[in-house]
Structure 1
């Protein structure tokens, strides 16, 4: 007997790869919290250098650059967060830092869109951040650049503008936990697999956006990212 689904399963979320005719299928989205000292400070926290910490987004939160998403329900404080995203292309489990870079297929620009008021309310009650972070359309990705074409992570500028006005401007060298440390540490808790994405954290300058706003951003050496905020659902 052939079993059928009760309803059509969701389409596989995927990100284009520059120079490839194939898409990068997305399995999971991990996010690193407070990975720039200035951002931790603006959120009212000291830098935690003991270990990185994480939250997750659903693969169905993936949204392509250049599109419009509605202003989400349940919030009055919807924030932008510009990030470097790591695309995992090889299995990694309990890998040392020296081998961690071998698991990275490439990099892209990403936006972690956040219902900040809901995140803060959950945090104050010591509850998970899901309502604030795992928002439909909140994981916006530009096309992936293969790691060999990007080179060594260092002084590349990471920036974001809203309606042309600069909001975020930093260097990737300011990451507290470097990409090899992130992959090595996270692989101690998960079997990382091809298709996993890791959003590495946002620099200072996060802030609210409103319907009609246009977000643009970029990282030196990667494809730029853009997003328009539409009317509420």
Structure 2
């Protein structure tokens, strides 16, 4: 099932919906239509667990998979927000989790050429989250090296503490797309949170797809484009530490709770690793995508009066 958080206009409250074809079915209204209480909030829905997904699926089936007409809104008439607009706590990021990215990072950033022996964990605060279509802020007073990192994100569905690798996937609710935006010139003595945790640096979406619909999360194509030009393409089968290993590692010391998000790492092709290096500038449009989930599209905008750079100006920077 594809789940989304949406609003019908700029002043409307955020609502929870199921995406069915070209429509979004309001889940609270779907339940009310059948005399069943269902939440209007994604985190509340995740808290209920798989039973909520099963209940919605059955209600949709009763209407031929589409839901009653008075619960359906054309997707073109809504604004999709991040599936979880305000996570309960920081997003867990994973660095250096594709072999080729380890190699490119060792050439251009201050990271080791050796493969990590344990997952490299950092975090992005809830205030960094934006949805598809929302603007990534480029603040020239802070960074001249704004970079992209398209990734698969895991959404936890059940509390996980000291979870074994064998049981880890049973704690997953679903998956979405995240773009781990990074200001490469803002790393501080090996600490990444200022580089990666600034406002708008965690585009998330466009939808959350439940685990049952994804199937094997370790066989998904993923990639990223800037202004329509492909920059990244890989497959999650190439993760250095797979999803069960990440959940087991994090939960060995930090309790994972329903709605927590793990960004699983990015493949090769980031701007810092290219020759010459490439950066995001105001006017750019970046699209991160993952098979079976969709495309997360975000423009880059200037904060303040920073002018848009031409291609020749960018080449001069490189």
Q: What TM-score comes out, normalization by structure 2 length? A: 0.64
Query: Structure 2: any 5+ residue segments left out of the alignment?
Result: 1-13, 20-25, 28-40, 44-83, 107-111, 272-278, 305-318
Could you tell me how far 1:232 is from its partner in structure 2? 2.5
The answer for the alignment partner of 1:156 in structure 2 is 220
Q: Which has the higher helix share?
A: 2
**1:161–1:167 contact (8 Å) kept in structure 2:** yes
The answer for the alignment partner of 1:218 in structure 2 is 289
Q: Deviations over 1:174-222 (max 9, x none)?
A: 1000001100110001111012100000001111211000011211111
Q: How many residues align?
A: 215
The answer for the alignment partner of 2:164 in structure 1 is 96
The answer for the alignment partner of 1:30 in structure 2 is 92
**2:138–2:281 contact (8 Å) kept in structure 1:** yes
Could you tell me how far 1:46 is from its partner in structure 2? 2.5
The answer for the alignment partner of 2:203 in structure 1 is 140
2:249 is equivalent to residue 185 of structure 1: yes
Rounded Cα–Cα distance in structure 2 between residues aligned with 1:106 and 1:84: 11
2:139 is equivalent to residue 76 of structure 1: no
Structure 1 residues 116 and 156: alpha-carbon distance in aligned structure 2, compared to 1, 3 A threshold? same
RMSD of aligned residue pairs (Cα, Å): 1.8
- 25-34 or 91-100, which deviates more: 25-34
Q: What TM-score comes out, normalization by structure 1 length? A: 0.87
Q: Deviations over 1:38-96 (max 9, x none)?
A: 11111113243421020001111111111113213410000010010000111000010
Rounded Cα–Cα distance in structure 1 between residues aligned with 2:266 and 2:15: 20
Report 1:199-218 matches (<5 A). Answer: 199-207=263-271, 208-218=279-289
Structure 1 residues 15 and 41: alpha-carbon distance in aligned structure 2, compared to 1, 3 A threshold? farther
Choose between structure 1 and 2 for higher RCO, CA contacts under 8 A separated by at least 6 residues. 1
Structure 1 residues 141 and 89: alpha-carbon distance in aligned structure 2, compared to 1, 3 A threshold? same
The answer for the alignment partner of 2:50 in structure 1 is none
Structure 1 residues 154 and 167: alpha-carbon distance in aligned structure 2, compared to 1, 3 A threshold? same
2:57 is equivalent to residue 57 of structure 1: no
SS at match of 2:135: strand
Rounded Cα–Cα distance in structure 2 between residues aligned with 1:48 and 1:16: 41
**2:128–2:202 contact (8 Å) kept in structure 1:** yes
Larger radius of gyration: 2
Rounded Cα–Cα distance in structure 1 between residues aligned with 2:218 and 2:260: 23
Could you tell me how far 1:131 is from its partner in structure 2? 1.7
Task: Extract structure 1 runs of 4+ deviating beyond 4 A.
Answer: 14-20
Rounded Cα–Cα distance in structure 1 between residues aligned with 2:202 and 2:114: 24
Structure 1 residues 69 and 47: alpha-carbon distance in aligned structure 2, compared to 1, 3 A threshold? same
**1:16–1:144 contact (8 Å) kept in structure 2:** no
